[in-house]
Structures are given as C-alpha cells and as structure tokens.
Structure 1
Amino acid sequence: MSVPQPPEPLPGARLLFSLDPAVNHLNHGSFGAVPIVVQRAQQRLRDEMEANPLRFFTQGLTDRIAHTRRHLATFLGADPDGTALVGNTTTGVAVVLQSLGLGPGDEVLSTDHGYGAVSLAIGRECRRTGAESRVLPVPLAATDEEVIQSIRAALRPGRTRLLVVDQLTSATARLFPVAAIVGVAHERGVPVLVDAAHVPGMLPTSVASVGADFWVGNLHKWAYAPRGTAVLVVAAQWRERIEPLVVSWEQESGFPARLEWQATLDYTSWLAAPAGLFTLRSLGVDRVRAHNAALAAYAQRVVGDALAVAPAHLPDPGGPEVAMRIIPLPRGLATTVEQGRALQQRIAERLAAEVAVMSWNGRGWLRLCGQVYNAPEEYERLAVRLPPLLAQR
C-alpha cells in the first residue's frame, strides 16, 4: 500500500506564527499555537486594560464579553444564550459535575478513552458526594455501531446520572459518533456531557445538532485563540442549575454571566478570540482542515513505516478530517503516564521535536498532529531519527 501524498503547503502560513524554527512542533493538540496577529490583538487589549484598569473592568466589559460569546457560539453552531465562556474544557467539566447534585447511589459513566484530567475530576466529585465513577472499556478498533451498542448496554437508567463521552479523544485520536450516542442516552433518560476539547476549529460541527445536555470545547487549540479560551454550551433545561466554581458579583444575573464574570480575571484572551477565527477564515477554514488532516495522515504512515508498523495496524481516527493520528510504540515503551512523559521529554531534547507520547491501556502511543506551520520533511526527519532513539532503552 502506497504512502499517502502530503498536501501542498499553504503559502506563508508558517510566517503567521512565532514558533522557534529550531524545533519541529508536531504536537499542536496539546497547547496550540497562537498566530502573531492574535498575540498582537491580545496585547492591544492588555495595553488598554493597563492604561485604565477601572474603566476597562467597569465600563462595558460584560457587553464585550457577550459580543465575543455570540461570535464564537455562531461559529460553532451553538445557541449564544446557552453558551458561556470558560478557561478550558476541564473547567467546564468541573462546573457541570458540581452542578448536578450527585449523591450516594448515583453514578457517572465514562469511557476509557477519556482525558486524564477529566477522569480525575469525575473521581474527585464522586468521592466528595458518595457517587460512583464507572469506566466503560471501548476497544480502539470498535466500529461506531459497536461503540453505540456498548454504551447502550452500559447505561443504567435511574442510576446513571451523567454520561461523559469524548467527541474526539485525546489519548487515542478517535472520533466518536456523539450525536448517535446522545440519542441513545436520552432514550434512557441519561444526560450527556460531550468533551469536545479538540473540535472547535479542527472539525466542522453544529453543537445544536449534537443535542448534548452539555458540550465543552477549547478554542485555543485548533481555532487559534489565545490560551484560556473555551466554551461550555448548556441545554435550556439545565441552565438555571449551573453554578460557577467561584461566586462573584454577577451571581444573580443567571447563566451565562454568573459563570463568566470572575472579577479580576484577564479577559483579554476571550476578547481576542475572534481574531483567531479571523485568521482561520483568512486562510480558508475548509482549506486548513483538509491540509491538516492530510498532513497528519502522511505523518502517521511515514513514522509508522519507520517503526515497522504495518498499515493495517495504524489506528483509523474514524473520520477524514481528524488532524491527529496515533502510532503504536514498540511494546514495553511508555506503558505508564510517567514513562510517556519521560520519553516525550527525551525526544524533545535529543531530536528537537515536540510530540505527544500517550499511555493507553498499558501500551505506549506516539501522537502526531498536522498544522499549517508544519511541513512533510519534519515528519520525515522524525521517522529517520526516532527508531535509533527508541532502541536506546
């Protein structure tokens, strides 16, 4: 089977970022990269804030936040009135968990593809309330129908108070059929929280059509927003039950203001987020998505071939527009989170390449991303240099 051809580069795209040219940045999915024009937009907002803090925080800031919220919600196909700006996906998850009113006899169901910090948040809330956290194993190669059937069989109406499912998983770069999963859960009266941390910007989506009770996603990964920008979208029947993690002056204003207003928070990342969408649109949203997905597919095959992984054993992400791919590492490597972090650091130091090394189900996985600032030769270079490094156990 031939290696897929890399996409044509987007002219000038690399120059939009201030990334260190001495490093191959192949892990956009972890912290993203903020375009220079967005950095400057945020700095202008910070300059405005520091020139007159009292005026910045007391004259029209809530209106500016609401305008930003409407802009971002419209891009995502979400109801602006049901959308709140939050710092990141895990913050949104924590807000939902503590707003549910869990207690003994209740359970939160998730899958073993869930993000580590989200799993920790579920565990903490269950310990605090006496509820149970139950994790459903889902095979990596499961079909969409098998995923749906597994979740259907695992739901326990009357006891399962929340199903948490990823739209695009972090550890395994797998796209789940969340709209169908939501439908199955709702048939049994179970509300659903969709962790869509990687979706905004990467994948075309209509949050409203997903139909989840709660949907949370970051815009600082694939939508070029400054870090600390995410949205929590809440269905109408839940909005009055949503409480902030910290009470502030907008508490009596209801959702979403009570969630967004946190006094002296630096709101400039949120206010600059539309500049990120402007950059994405300027490059061409569909063009960027197609480029990034094709580049990630090329990276998976090139590095997979170098590690002697047969094409049939390279996991399918479940959709053609996924810009993250994983490759199994030789057995015995990165079998724990700590070992994965150590190997990731070693690759960064010795190969000048930033990658993600994940540990999932006792196996180490290399996760590579495609972004407009990347070039095929970066992955080709990694493919040449990585096998000798991994052999040095």
Structure 2
Amino acid sequence: MTPPLPGTGNLFTLDPEVAHLNHGSYGAVPVPVQRVQARLRAEQERDPDGFFLDLPDRIARARAEVASALGGDPGKLALLTNVTEGVAVALDTVPLGPGDEVLVTDHGYGVVTRAAERRAAETGATVRCVRISPHAPDEEAVRDRLLDAVTPRTRVAVLDLITSPTARAIATPELLADLAARGVVTVVDAAHAPGMLPVDLGGAAGGADFWVGNLHKWAFAPRAAAVLAVTAAWRPKVRPLMLSWEHDRGFPARVEWRGTCDYTPWLAAPAGFALLEKLGTDRVRRHNEALVGHGRRQLVERAGLRPLAECAGTSMRALRLPPGVAESEHAAKALMVAVRRRLGARIAVRPWIGGGVLRISAQVYNRPEEYVRLADGLTHLITR
C-alpha cells in the first residue's frame, strides 16, 4: 500500500464523496495556489486600468519563473492557455502546401488531430494517421512504425510525448532526432510533462521544433495555463492566432497578449511549481507512480482488464476494456457516467475498436482503497 504523503491532507477542495481518479484530464488546483489566484483577481478588480497597464511585465516575470522550473530560457518560451492552442499556433506557423503531409497517430488527442486536419484542408496538404496497436510492446516498436510512415512529402509530425488515451511514450528523443534528420518539422504535445516528468528545455524545445505542455495538470497551476517552447529558427516566424498591441514586440509577447483576458492563471503558475518543490518534486512523483501502479494491479487482478504498456515515471496507466465495451464515443461517455453515478468515481475512457481504453491517474489526494472500490464495482458494470 502507498501511504499518504505528509502535508497533503488539506491541500485540495475536492468533493470527498467522489474518488477523483482522473487528474490527468483537468488537474486540481491546491488551496495555496487558489489563494494566490484569488488575491490576483481581487487586485485586478480594485484597479483594472493599473492591473492591465503592468501586465506585460508581470507576465514576463511569471514566464521567467516557469522557465526556470522547466530548465529553459524565458525568451524561448511563451505562456498560453493550453496545449490545443499551442499546437494551433505551431500548425499556423509552418508553411504547408499541396502535396505536403502532416503525420499524426491514432493515439493523439482528438481535437489536436482535428486541428491538423483543418490546417491541411486550408492549405491543400493531407493528414496521414499512423495506426499503432495499443499493445505495441515498447517505444522502439512505436518508433519503427512511425519512421516507416515517413515519406519525402512528410512536412510536419504532430506527436504526443505521453499520449492522452493510452498513457504511453511516443515522441522520444531518439524519434525526434530521426525525424529531424529526415527534414520533418516536429510539434510535440507534451500536455502531461510539466510537473509529472523531468523537463529540460535548456537546449532545443525539448528536442522538437515546437513543444507545448500544460501547467494546469501536474504542475498545480490554475486552469488554463500552458507553455510553448520554440526553437530559434522558428521564433521570428511564429504566427499568433490573433493580432494584439504586443505583436511588434515579437515572440513571446506576440503570442501571449490577447487583450482583456484572465491572465491570473499564468501569474499564479509559479506558485504551483513552488508548492511542488516544497512537497518534494521527486517524492511526489515516486508516490504517484507507486499509487497508480497499485491501481493498475487492482484493475488487472479484480476486474480482469488487460494492461497496456506503461511509461516509467508517469502517474497514469491505461488498460483495455473487454471487446464490445466502450467501442464508440457514446458508449465510452456512458460508461464514465455510470462509474460516477454508481461507483462514485471519475475515470477517463476512450473509445477503441476491440474494446475501449480506461485510464486512471494518481495524485497526492488519492488513496489506495479508491482503486479497489473502482475495480470491484467495475466488474459488475462491464459484465452486465
């Protein structure tokens, strides 16, 4: 069993009647960070003119603190709302034309793939979706599958660092280097990296041309906060999704500023990293990995689910549901609703032909017995 970490008992305001086993989707904001954001919002309402007048400089200072936590240069990074926005910025920046191909996988986040499809339709390019078996044994097998799909027309590859539905590694340093050698521009969806995995953006953008990670999942930042890292060659060319008064200042200001939006998640993001450091970043990671491993074992042993390949050091695990269960979007959502109503738990389920994929997460607020209850109750739900 994995005992609770000292000092984490009252950190969150989550409903105690629910087992929140899906931290990987939306995160949960700790109380100290909620308080920082509340103070910022109160300050804004006391003097909106003054607050917005000073905002560009305050955003720059917050970005510098975030960059320090991620091992990067503040000039190479931009703050934005989420990974979906960052990928859209990257796709809008890279020139595409008829005959070009954008490479994605069937493990990618759905709306990111749709963004690639929209950009391709606008430019005459095509999207090539590489199908990877959920049971591919290791990163090497995934790498070989993707490299076999590269053609002379492949212009961009949009790949997950850790996939959302299946919680496995794809955009490894070795794969990114191979794609760069073939002249392929790489856009990495690193939604789950900050806070959960060691991140070093000191050199290139995590080995990619564009690297974007959420801060509101595992780095304890308020929603919505994310960071986009861009290599030097692309920085002057970055095209924001809308123009602003900061546009002529170049990257990163031209990406960050969007008028009268709520910037308090960005300003409060350093408080999330500070809390993680106070708790002990490595200690939190080890705790969460051990706890999610416990959860995975319960679902295998008690519910008979088939585990998918796991990524060491992560706080998420994915398992295959039986054939006929959650194979459509409607059925996957229905199962999540049933788990919430009947078992009092939140999980993530993604449709997959041959049996949907169930993903669990672990965070310091979770307890071992929550996974036992899920596994025992799930057995009845999926065999009815």
- TM-score interval, smaller chain: over 0.9
Cα distance between partner residues in 2 of 1:279 and 1:47 = 22
Instruction: Select the residue among 183, 187, 192 that pairs with 2:186.
Output: 192
Cα distance between partner residues in 2 of 1:237 and 1:383 = 49
Give matches, 1:247-266, under 5 Å: 247-266=243-262
- Cross-structure match for 2:326: 334
Matched, 1:227 2:223: yes
Q: Aligned-pair distance for 1:383? A: 1.7
C-alpha deviations, 1:29-66, integer Å up to 9, x for none? 000000011111001000000000000001x2111101
Q: Aligned-pair distance for 1:80? A: 1.4
Letter in 2 for 1:37: P
Residues 318 and 359 of structure 2 are in contact (CA less than 8 Å); yes or no, is this contact kept in structure 1? yes
C-alpha deviations, 1:299-332, integer Å up to 9, x for none? 01112211224xxx4122132x111001211210
Letter in 1 for 2:92: Q
Instruction: Select the residue among 320, 323, 336 that pairs with 1:344.
Output: 336
Residues 14 and 374 of structure 1 are in contact (CA less than 8 Å); yes or no, is this contact kept in structure 2? no
Q: Aligned-pair distance for 1:362? A: 4.4
C-alpha deviations, 1:183-217, integer Å up to 9, x for none? 00111111111110011000112134532100000
C-alpha deviations, 1:333-380, integer Å up to 9, x for none? 100122111110111111110111112344212111010000001111
- Cross-structure match for 2:364: 372
Give matches, 1:283-322, under 5 Å: 283-309=279-305, 313-319=306-312, 321-322=313-314
- Cross-structure match for 2:70: 76
Cα distance between partner residues in 2 of 1:78 and 1:185 = 22
Deviation >3 Å, runs of 4+:
none
Cα distance between partner residues in 1 of 2:128 and 2:278 = 44
Residues 42 and 272 of structure 1 are in contact (CA less than 8 Å); yes or no, is this contact kept in structure 2? yes
- Which range moved further: 65-74 or 287-296? 65-74
Mark the runs of 5 or more structure 1 residues left unpaired by the alignment. Answer: 1-5
Residues 321 and 355 of structure 2 are in contact (CA less than 8 Å); yes or no, is this contact kept in structure 1? yes
Give matches, 1:196-207, under 5 Å: 196-207=190-201
Instruction: Select the residue among 8, 17, 36 that pairs with 1:13.
Output: 8
Q: Aligned-pair distance for 1:74? A: 1.8
Cα distance between partner residues in 2 of 1:101 and 1:40 = 43
Cα distance between partner residues in 2 of 1:362 and 1:232 = 36
- Cross-structure match for 2:125: 131
Give matches, 1:1-393, under 5 Å: 6-58=1-53, 60-140=54-134, 141-157=136-152, 159-208=153-202, 210-309=206-305, 313-319=306-312, 321-392=313-384
Letter in 2 for 1:291: H
Residues 7 and 291 of structure 1 are in contact (CA less than 8 Å); yes or no, is this contact kept in structure 2? yes
TM-score, length basis structure 2: 0.96
Letter in 1 for 2:310: P
Q: Aligned-pair distance for 1:161? A: 1.4
Q: Aligned-pair distance for 1:152? A: 2.0
Letter in 1 for 2:170: F
Cα distance between partner residues in 1 of 2:137 and 2:375 = 28
Cα distance between partner residues in 2 of 1:136 and 1:379 = 33
Residues 336 and 362 of structure 1 are in contact (CA less than 8 Å); yes or no, is this contact kept in structure 2? no
Mark the runs of 5 or more structure 2 residues left unpaired by the alignment. Answer: none
Letter in 1 for 2:337: Q
Secondary structure of the equivalent of 1:13?
coil
Letter in 1 for 2:101: E
Residues 178 and 194 of structure 1 are in contact (CA less than 8 Å); yes or no, is this contact kept in structure 2? no
Letter in 2 for 1:345: V
Shift in CA distance, 128/14, structure 1 to aligned 2, threshold 3 Å: farther
Residues 215 and 233 of structure 1 are in contact (CA less than 8 Å); yes or no, is this contact kept in structure 2? yes
Q: CA RMSD in A?
A: 1.3
Q: Aligned-pair distance for 1:249? A: 0.5
Cα distance between partner residues in 2 of 1:367 and 1:130 = 36
Letter in 2 for 1:8: P
- Which range moved further: 374-383 or 203-212? 203-212
Residues 171 and 360 of structure 1 are in contact (CA less than 8 Å); yes or no, is this contact kept in structure 2? no
Q: Percent identity?
A: 50
